[in-house]
């Protein structure tokens, strides 16, 4: 009885078989079928390799949320070279709350005559900056590669062989409130008066010969991220005009970056540039100098590096293999039916011609 029950169970399971086996004696091979099979195997191998590279790669996911941190200080790192002597210029920050960060936290180093940079790094940096303006997706590559140390910041130029020290390198770190502010480099040293903030420039002679040509080696907000390229890094402004006003309008966006190798809080920023000659006679009023006006975005960007899960990779791989098998099988059957129809048509035509000849 037990054997009968086992046999009946096995027979029942056999009837549920969705993959019936065809005896080899009923299978007919052909050169066309072998060619199709070879193409199918090559195509599956190529698509599998391609899918594996997709699985190994990662992409950046951007999410937006409200920035609730208003009490902490924001660090600004500055490294700017101006084509004027250090005794003639002064730099500081004035924010909308009335707080003044004096230039005591900044260092003034006399350097050789200011001249345009010809170093290879600045040329490469300018190319990257131009590509970033045209193609935003390049920022994803920089996020993933910069944190691995593939890029390094430009080295400030200082030609020690020159005796003349007619340019000034202003660099250092300052900590400001997280409100809109104005960092400026103008004629005269900053002083505090009863009426407010001012720059003492009355004792500086030859004011008409002001040249605010400058190079920004580095301008960053927040924590340092090794290799991260900021929009103004390597920017050069060369002018022969006197009393030029250079303005940079910056929007700072807090960013939390999370990748497989690092997690850091940083700040990105976008910038709009404007420059003009200050001439009261022509109606172009203002103060000549370099003005960097910044404001903070109320939104924070969360950038996360994501990878394809292994389960998704397996499902996509099975879909590729199964889809190719199914499509190739249908294609092979369609070609076979078409060939049979054409052959039958020619055979019928040949048989009819033979019958006519017999008559």
Q: Dihedral through CA 326, CA 332, CA 338, CA 340, nearest 10? A: -120
Q: Assess contact for 243 and 288: CB atoms under 8 A.
A: yes
State the DSSP code for 279. B
State the DSSP code for 20. P
Q: Assess contact for 266 and 300: CB atoms under 8 A.
A: no
Which pLDDT value is given to residue 341?
Answer: 76
pLDDT tens profile 28-62? 666 667 777 788 888 888 988 988 888 888 888 88
Region of poorest pLDDT, from 38-52, 204-218, 242-256, 320-334 = 204-218
Alpha-carbon distance of 220 to 230, in angstroms, equals: 7
Give pTM, 2 decimals: 0.67
Query: 326 falls in which pLDDT band (50, 70, 90)?
Result: confident
Using the predicted structure, report yes or no on whether residue 260 has a pLDDT greater than 80.
Answer: no
pLDDT tens profile 231-241? 888 888 888 88
Query: 251 falls in which pLDDT band (50, 70, 90)?
Result: very high
pLDDT tens profile 137-181? 445 555 555 545 444 455 455 544 455 668 899 999 989 888 999
Ranked by mean pLDDT, the top range of 110-114, 205-209, 317-321, 333-337 is: 317-321
Give, in order, the Cα–Cα distances in Å from 132 to each of 80, 225, 318.
22, 18, 38
Query: 85 falls in which pLDDT band (50, 70, 90)?
Result: confident
């Amino acid at each position: 009885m037990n054997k009968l029950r086992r046999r009946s169970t096995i027979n029942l399971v056999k009837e549920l078989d969705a993959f019936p086996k065809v005896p080899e004696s009923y299978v007919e091979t052909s050169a066309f079928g072998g060619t199709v099979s070879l193409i199918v195997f090559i195509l599956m191998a190529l698509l599998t390799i391609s899918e594996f590279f997709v699985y190994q790669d990662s992409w950046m996911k951007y999410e937006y949320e409200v920035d609730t941190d208003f009490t902490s200080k924001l660090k600004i790192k500055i490294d700017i070279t101006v084509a004027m002597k250090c005794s003639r210029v002064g730099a500081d920050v004035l924010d909308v709350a009335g707080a003044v960060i004096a230039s005591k936290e900044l260092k003034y180093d006399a350097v050789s005559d200011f001249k345009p940079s010809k170093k290879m790094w600045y040329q490469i940096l300018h190319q990257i900056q131009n590509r970033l303006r045209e193609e935003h997706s390049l920022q994803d590559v920089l996020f993933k590669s910069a944190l691995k140390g593939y890029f390094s910041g430009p080295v400030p130029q200082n030609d020690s062989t020159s005796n003349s020290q007619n340019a000034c390198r202003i660099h250092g770190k300052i900590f400001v409130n997280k409100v809109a502010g104005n960092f400026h480099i103008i004629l005269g040293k900053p002083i505090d008066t009863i009426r407010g903030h001012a720059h003492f420039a009355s004792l500086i002679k030859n004011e008409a010969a002001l040249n605010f040509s400058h190079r920004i080696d580095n301008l960053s907000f927040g924590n340092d991220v090794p290799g991260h390229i900021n929009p103004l890094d390597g920017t050069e402004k060369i002018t022969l005009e006197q009393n030029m006003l250079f303005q940079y309008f910056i929007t700072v966006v807090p960013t939390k970056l999370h990748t497989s190798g690092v997690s850091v809080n940083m700040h990105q920023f976008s910038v709009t540039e404007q420059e003009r000659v200050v001439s009261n006679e022509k109606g172009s009023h203002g103060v000549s100098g370099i003005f960097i006006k910044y404001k903070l975005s109320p939104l924070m960007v969360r950038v996360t590096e994501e990878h394809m899960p292994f389960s998704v990779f397996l499902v996509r791989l099975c879909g590729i293999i199964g889809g190719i098998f199914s499509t190739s099988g249908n294609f092979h059957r369609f070609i076979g039916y078409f060939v049979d129809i054409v052959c039958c048509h020619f055979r019928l035509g040949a048989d009819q011609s033979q019958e006519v000849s017999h008559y």
